Chains A and B, each alone.
Chain A
């Protein structure tokens, strides 16, 4: 029976029972979906919700870093023309736009001095770009000018930290996405097929777990040109063992349940059974691993940057700010305290969300 014929039979059948309605047949609304329960449980957990809001705040800072800390004004009215250099900058860096001639080869801070009547200039909350060096402010402690102090080339620490949020969060998310993908695929293959495939993949997992991963990452990263993408990739390639082990176990559990047997009996392909039937039922708890994984990846990146193997020098990352404090030790407390606190804060809030999620997904609690 080909597809169209089957559709006809289906529509005939439904036609017998009820009048044909145009469009999609209406589904009875499920009141208690799995994620619905999890979300309700999570909402009961005060700490997890605080963590979630804090993560939201960090994501906000990361996305709008350019508007929060920049040496270009958000808005300027100059010679009667209103423009937004921050936004123009995106076009300039893509090579699509040019600054108007009166702004070229000039610092906006100087322009701010020579504003005429009716002109105005609105700077972001932090008036420095992360790479704005100013040798007059070489290694200064926190002051009114630079709220969190400056580093050895007089760059503003607060601005670097705001832009560092972007690096840290994107490394965490991308690296973990890479290894979750690898882990799910390998774990699914091992758990679903068992036998030789399982033995080989399990040996591979054991092998990767035996390796001192951090040393492995440092060695590989040290040999590659410094770039944030290399770090994401290397953490992604080395970090998948936890997810793979977990997914493998879940697949072992799920694959003998009746509905999977039924799918086999219907003659579905392995591909379809793995991805359409087993995976959706096995993958939910992976989210807990992923959440903790993001914290771990952020930690690894800052550790790498701290040792000087991380991001290139012109990019700000919490780890690289900490790293610049190393030459000054034991002086320069602000270079150590603030970026480290940012890392600590991020890890804590992500771990809070992870713990909340784990508790919320625990079936023993969900039943209550």
Chain B
């Protein structure tokens, strides 16, 4: 069973959420899921762009109480 790692990057601005996701991604194992929390509007577009470019998988993305949640699976 893989872990889900919570990356709380609320209240930080671009490129804070992306960099926090990536530093956690580096330490995660292949197959792990990471859940990024962000309140930065720019990251809503930028983070999925990075995930697709690098080749990981977006499991789910939704907004709840003004907080964006992006759940991503580490593929490689």
A binds B: no
Residues in chain B within 8 A of chain A (CB atoms):
none
